[in-house]
Amino acid sequence: MRFQILHETPGRIRLRALGKPMRMEEADILDGYLRSQPGVDHVTVHERTGSVAICYHGNREALCKSLAGFSYERAAHEVELPLHSSRAMNREYKERLLSTFMRHLMRKFLLPVRIRRVVNICKSVPRIVHAGRVLLSGQLTVDVLDGIAIGVSLLTGDHPTAASVNFLLTVGEILDEWTHKKSVDDLAKSMALQVDEVWRLGEDGMAAEVPICQIVPGDRIVVHTGHVLPLDGILEEGDVLLNQASLTGESVPVAKRPGTAVYAGSVVEEGNCVVRVTHASGENRYDRIVHMIEDSERLKSGVEKRASHLANSLVPWCLGGSLVTFLLTRNVSRAVSVLMVDFSCALKLSMPISVLSAMREASRHKITVKGGKYMEIISEADTVIFDKTGTLTRACPTVTMVVPFHGESEAEMLRTAACLEEHFPHSVANAVVRAARERNLRHNEMHGEVEYVIAHGIASKIGDKRAVIGSGHFVFEDEGVQILPEDLPQFEALPQSASWLYLGIGGVLSAAIGIFDPLRPEARGAVEALHKVGIEKTVMLTGDNKRTAEAVARDLGIDEFRADVLPEDKASYIKAEQANGRTVLMIGDGINDTPALSLADVGIAVGSGAVIAREVADVTIAAEDLTELAWLRRLSDALMQRVRHNYIFVMGFNGALIALGAFGLLPPATSALLHNTSTLLLSLHSLTSLLEEKKENEKA
C-alpha cells in the first residue's frame, strides 16, 4: 500500500492512504499496525478521508520503511484487532445528529404550516405520554417538566416553541448517550486483560506455555496461584478461591469447585486449577466490565450521587415556581418560560461526564481508575503507603550470585530454583528464571505439586525430599531447614549488600541466591512531588531488614518506615492509620500486597507487578514512572474543582433564566434554547482535559 506525506514536523507526520476508500475494519488494522511499531506514541486514522496522523519518538526511516511494507492482509495476522471498535459507534451517532438537524430544517422550511403542526403533535405525544406515566408513578423528574412544557405550548398554540423544545431535547439525548457510551467504552478497553501467554495442557498431560491467540474452545489451560484466568471456561480440576473484583467490584474471594463456570479476569488467590476453555476471546469479559461500570453504584463518586439527589429534589421547586408565576401573572407564556428551565439536566449530565472524562484522561497516561469514587478519595487522601520491592525498586531484580552448600553444583541449584519458581508471578521469581535461561540451564518438571505460601516462598517435592525456596523466615523458621556445621562459616560470610533467597532440599540448606534490585531513579522525586501536592505522610512497609529499610527511607525522603513486616502487618498498620482518621493510599505490586491493597481507602498497583495485585487494586499505574502518582492527585484535585465550578454555573445561570422568564423578559422558546445550549456547552466543557500539561512538563 502507498502513502503520500501531506505535512511533517519533528516527531509528527501526517499522510494520506492512496488507493480505494478505506473501510472501518481496514482503518482498525492500520491503526493497530502503526501502534505496534517501535517508537510510535500516538496514531489517528480517519477512514473516510484516508488521513493518518502519527506522533513518534523513534527512527523516522524505520517508520517510513514499515509504512512502505504495509498491507492489510499481512497486518491482519500480525496485530490483535480490538474486539469492540469505536469507529462504528462514532459514525452511527454522527449520522444520527446530522439526520436530526436535517429533518428539523426540512420540516421548518419545506413543509406547509398545517402539515408541520401535525408532525409536531405526533412527535410531542410520546414525551407527553411518558411524562404522564412518570407522574402517575408518584415521581417528579425532569421528564415531567419537559412533558408539561411541551403540552402547554401545544394547548396555547405555540407550536414553534414545542418544536424547538423537542428538537433540543432530542439533540441533548443523542449527545448524552454518545458521550456516555464512548466514555464507558474507553474505560472498559483500558481495563481489558493484557495476557500474552498461557499454560496449555497437552494430551500427554504436560503443560506448555503458548501464545493466547493459539487457544481455541475445548483446550485445557493450567492456572496457578496468583495468576489471572485469561479466558472463560469450566473448572475441571482443583478447588480454588477466586477473586472476582474486576468483574463484580467485590474483592471477597469466592470458592469454586470442579464443574462450575469461571470467567476471564478472575484471579486465583489460592490453589491451582485446570480450566477447559469455552470462549477464546475477551468478548464476554468486555461486556461484563461495561455492565459493571454502568450499573454499579459502588463505583459512583459521591459528587455524582449528590448531583443526582439535588437534581431530583429541585424538580418540584421548578414546577412550583411555574405554578406560582402563573397564579401571580396569569400569563401562560411566563409560566412556560419557567418550566423550560430546570437544574436537573445540567447536573445529571455534567457531573458523570466530568468524572468519566477524568478517568479517560487518566487512561491516556496509562492509569486505570476503576470507579469515579476513587478519584474523589484520592483528592482527599493525606497518607501514602509504599511497598518497597517492585514498587520503589525497579521491579526487575537480577541474580548477582548463587552460593551452593555441602558440595552441590551451582548450576544445578540454579536449575532447581528456576524449576520451582517459573510458575509464580513475582519479580524475584522472574529474576531466578531469567538467570537460568541466560546460562542456558534447561530443565524438565522435576518436582511434584507446588505449594505457594504467599509472602514467604514455595514448597514442593523433588523425588522423596521436600524442597522449599523463599525468605529466611520461611525456610529456617517455618520449615525448620538446617545449616550444616561445615557450611556455617560460608553462610555467615554472605554479603549483606544483596537480598537472599534460600533453597532447602531434604531439610538442609542447599543454596543461597543473591538478588539485587536497584531503586527506581524517579522514586525520590515522586515522594517529593507527593508532599508538594498535599500528601502529609509517606510510609514504606517492607519485609527487608531494618538496616536496609532505614537506608532506603532516608535516601528517598520517606517520613516513616516499618521493616520485617508480613502481609498481615501491612493490613494492621493501615487499619491503625484509618482509625486515626487518615485517608490512606496503598501502593504495591506483589501478591503479598493484596490484603493491604484491598483494605486501603484506595489500592494502587504498579502495572509491572503481579496480576492479582492489578486486579484487586482500585487503580493501576501501567507507566513505569512513580511521578504519575502526583499527577493523578493533581488530576483528582482538578476534577473536584471542576465539579464545584459546575455546581456554581448551573445554579447561577439557570436561576437567572428562571427569573428572566418569570418577569417576562425571555419567551419560552428562548428560555429553552438558552437552557439546553448551556447544558450542552457545559457537558462539552466537562469533556475537555483537566490537566493540559504534558508529562514532560510535569517531570520538569
Among 2-11, 64-73, 124-133, 664-673, which is the least confidently predicted range? 664-673
C-beta neighbour count of 580 within 10 angstroms:
9
Mean per-residue pLDDT, 606-619: 71
Domain 197-281 indexed as CATH 2.60.40.10 = no
CATH superfamily of the 367-393+519-622 domain: HAD superfamily/HAD-like (3.40.50.1000)
C-beta neighbour count of 20 within 10 angstroms:
8
Tens-place pLDDT, residues 290-313: 665 665 444 555 666 676 677 667
User: What residue type is 696 in one-letter code?
Assistant: E
Banded pLDDT at 284 (limits 50, 70, 90) = low
Host H or E run for residue 22? none
User: How far, in whole angstroms, is CA 280 from its chain's centroid?
Assistant: 22
Banded pLDDT at 209 (limits 50, 70, 90) = confident
Residue 694 scores a pLDDT above 50? no
CB 271 within 8 A of CB 222: no
Distance CA 364, CA 315 (A): 37
Domain 398-516 indexed as CATH 3.40.1110.10 = yes
User: How far, in whole angstroms, is CA 135 from its chain's centroid?
Assistant: 39
According to the model, what pLDDT value does residue 280 have? 63
Q: Which of 449, 455, 386 is nearest to 426 (CA)?
A: 455
Mean per-residue pLDDT, 224-230: 78
- Which of the pair, 343 or 648, is modelled with greater confidence? 648
CB 507 within 8 A of CB 466: yes
The winner for highest mean pLDDT among 28-37, 85-94, 219-228, 534-543 is: 534-543
Q: Which of 221, 215, 220, 271 is nearest to 243 (CA)?
A: 271
What is 590-647 written as a DSSP string? SGGGHHHHHHSSEEEEETTS-HHHHHHSSEEE-SS-TTHHHHHHHHHHHHHHHHHHHH
According to the model, what pLDDT value does residue 700 have? 39
Residue 558 scores a pLDDT above 90? yes
180 φ, ψ (degrees, to nearest 5): -65, -45
Q: What percent of the chain has pLDDT over 70?
A: 85
CB 36 within 8 A of CB 54: no
Q: What percent of the chain has pLDDT over 90?
A: 24
CB 108 within 8 A of CB 101: no
626 φ, ψ (degrees, to nearest 5): -70, -15
According to the model, what pLDDT value does residue 698 have? 43
Distance CA 171, CA 442 (A): 64
Tens-place pLDDT, residues 235-245: 999 888 887 76
CB 53 within 8 A of CB 44: yes
- Which of the pair, 285 or 253, is modelled with greater confidence? 253
Distance CA 329, CA 661 (A): 12
Mean per-residue pLDDT, 143-147: 81
The winner for highest mean pLDDT among 75-84, 128-137, 319-328, 563-572 is: 128-137
Distance CA 202, CA 212 (A): 15
CATH class of 3-81: alpha beta
Sequence-ordered strand ranges (E) for 443-507: 451-453, 457-462, 465-470, 499-505
Query: If you average pLDDT over every residue of the chain, what do you get?
Result: 82
According to the model, what pLDDT value does residue 609 have? 61
Domain ranges within the chain, ordered by starting residue: 3-81, 90-188+299-354+637-686, 197-281, 367-393+519-622, 398-516
Mean per-residue pLDDT, 190-195: 60
Query: Strand, helix or coil at 450?
Result: coil
Tens-place pLDDT, residues 482-523: 999 999 999 988 887 677 889 999 999 999 999 887 888 899
| Ramachandran area for residue 88 (φ above 0: left; ψ -120 to 50: alpha; else beta) | alpha
Q: What is the DSSP letter of 483?
A: P
Residue 360 scores a pLDDT above 90? no
Distance CA 375, CA 362 (A): 10
Among 12-16, 79-83, 121-125, 531-535, which is the least confidently predicted range? 79-83
Banded pLDDT at 695 (limits 50, 70, 90) = very low
Residue 231 scores a pLDDT above 90? no
